[in-house]
Amino acid sequence: MPYEPSAFPPFAVTVDLVVLTVRRHALCALAVRRGEAPYEGKWALPGGFVRADEDLDSAAARELAEETGLQAHDTAGGLPGAHLEQLATYGDPGRDPRMRVVSVAHLALAPDLPSPTPGGDARGARWAPVEDLLVDDASTRRHADDGDKASLAFDHDQILAAGVERARSKIEYSSLATAFCPPEFTVGELRRVYEAVWGVALDPRNFHRKVTGTPGFLVPSGGTTTRQGGRPAQLFRAGGANLLNPPMLRPEV
Amino acid sequence: MPYEPSAFPPFAVTVDLVVLTVRRHALCALAVRRGEAPYEGKWALPGGFVRADEDLDSAAARELAEETGLQAHDTAGGLPGAHLEQLATYGDPGRDPRMRVVSVAHLALAPDLPSPTPGGDARGARWAPVEDLLVDDASTRRHADDGDKASLAFDHDQILAAGVERARSKIEYSSLATAFCPPEFTVGELRRVYEAVWGVALDPRNFHRKVTGTPGFLVPSGGTTTRQGGRPAQLFRAGGANLLNPPMLRPEV
DNA sequence: CAAATAGTGTCTATCAGACATTATATC
DNA sequence: GATATAATGTCTGATAGACACTATTTG
């Protein structure tokens, strides 16, 4: 079918964000409460319309900054940085009851933020453990009497699940887990990131050997720190290596 | 920014397809010649508008069937099957000079087709080695005097490169390479798929041990075949396993 | 016979997992 | 001293890469 630019069905295009962070040893996602119909009062992923003259990545970075004050990493700037990448696009007819909306979902990984409730927007917003948000469809939705644990608006359950799975698999073979850490961090803090994202316990000694033995993954920044009553730990920064080869294996079986 | 469904900028949404196959020991992509402006006469990826009531995946499957006669695997049907998955979405303002077009690129992997020129469309279409299509932007575009080796229309160079890289990395840790093979195939044929996609030579003995030793990857179908003057080879079908663990390592370094 | 491909076996270096041991902080 | 965490070391089983060897076809 040749292009017929004059006769195309009109779509609205939005970006939705899966913003993940690690808080109190748990993987958490940013959720905002909807202030209008449809799904009024329900929790949803942050997002918004792509502007007429705006690139998709720019729209995602703009929404991220509006909701969290975080600056995407590829752009320069003094704000605290976050990793941002495109995730997948969702365009089922009927995913939004009002009109045909195609949403380009993005995944953002951020270090733990000082503000418990992300600023920018007057609507309610919270960091929620993904374990609470992702009630498995196979299990009953009446898992608890807490209505907040029900599913998200639109198809955002599906989008969140895809983002979490992307993050879980990508830290296996990339240095992306450092995106959850502040600029300087210890091996133990990085290990607790892996443990929170995967939901497993890792051997501290084997983990230490693996991450310090992979060239380019971690660069010692010189200092040491004592955070919780033990031997002071060496501080590291993320090295230049983006790919981990061989990968960090997720314990499974 | 809250939703304002009444005031959104209108977009056109298309699907573009990176259709890959292995022909004569080379990884090839399907290219169609544009019959109208812009980029009239240039090669481009097949694609078209998403219809008003159509899912994105359905649109991609429909375009794939129109261009090649291949049926996507998740749908039942007697046609020869192909693997189809969403790749990424491209929405730079100005990527199409006529209007704002967001394209949801999909990746399709197909076995070698009998018809040299894929049917369905009267426009020119061809299987071109990706090596010829992907002239590196770093190297000079005047690499050869053959104008056909120049870049594709729109941002299709970038899309094709992303699709090729996705295929190259995904056959490492999944059984996806069998999507390039007919329903029954030999270990040698599967190895030649890997060699063509990666552009490297693999040790036949280690490859045989790896693929036959991974549970669920290959299932013997009983028969044997002699194709090219050697000992007859056992025939296999793709097993149920989708993930290869540990992965098949791409020789690199 | 030679040549080509299929399939099996062997050796070695590397690495993940399990776990011992030492070092240095707080309480 | 007790306890907690950091950092290094040791052992073992699994496996990838290199390569010898046998099996069975075509020419």
Tens of pLDDT, residue by residue, chain A (253 residues): 444 555 688 999 999 999 999 999 999 999 999 988 899 999 999 999 999 999 999 999 999 999 888 888 766 555 668 999 999 999 999 999 999 999 999 999 999 976 655 555 545 899 999 999 987 654 444 444 444 456 899 999 999 999 999 999 999 999 999 999 999 999 999 999 999 999 999 999 999 999 999 999 999 998 888 676 789 999 999 998 899 989 999 987 5
Check whether residue A55 and residue A159 sit in a common domain.
yes
Check whether residue A202 and residue A114 sit in a common domain.
no
Parts of chain B with a pLDDT under 70: 1-7, 74-80, 114-123, 136-150, 253
3-state secondary structure A99-159: CCEEEEEEEEECCCCCCCCCCCCCCCEEEEEHHHHCCCCCCCCCCCCCHHHCCCCCCHHHH
- Pairwise CB contact (< 8 Å): A86 & B91: no
Check whether residue A157 and residue A234 sit in a common domain.
no
pLDDT of residue A184: 94
Check whether residue B227 and residue B200 sit in a common domain.
yes
CB B227 within 8 A of CB B186: yes
Check whether residue A144 and residue A206 sit in a common domain.
no
Domain span at residue A87 reads: 12-171
- How many domains does chain A contain in total? 2
Check whether residue B141 and residue B57 sit in a common domain.
yes
| Smallest Cα distance from A134 to chain B, Å | 23
User: What CATH number has the domain bearing residue B187?
Assistant: 1.10.10.10
| Smallest Cα distance from A98 to chain B, Å | 8
Final residue belonging to a domain, choices B171, B202, B226: B171
Could you read off the pLDDT of B136-180 as tens digits, one per residue? 654 444 444 444 456 899 999 999 999 999 999 999 999 999 999
Is A225 within 7 A of strand C by CB distance? Answer: no
Check whether residue B144 and residue B220 sit in a common domain.
no
Whether residue B246 lies inside any domain: the answer is no
User: What CATH number has the domain bearing residue B131?
Assistant: 3.90.79.10
Is A205 within 7 A of strand D by CB distance? Answer: yes
Task: Please give residues of chain B from 154 to 213 whose alpha-adjacent beta carbon (CB) lies under 7 Å from any atom of strand D.
Answer: 203, 205-206, 210
Final residue belonging to a domain, choices B125, B149, B171: B171
Check whether residue A39 and residue A152 sit in a common domain.
yes
Final residue belonging to a domain, choices B171, B199, B227: B171
Check whether residue A70 and residue A128 sit in a common domain.
yes
3-state secondary structure chain B: CCCCCCCCCCEEEEEEEEEEEEECCEEEEEEEECCCCCCCCCEECCEEECCCCCCHHHHHHHHHHHHHCCEECCCCCCCCEEEEEEEEEECCCCCCCCCCEEEEEEEEECCCCCCCCCCCCCCCEEEEEHHHHCCCCCCCCCCCCCHHHCCCCCCHHHHHHHHHHHHHHHHHHECHHHHHCCCCECHHHHHHHHHHHHCCCCCHHHHHHHHHHCCCCEEEEEEEECCCCCCCEEEEEECCCCECCCCCCCCCC
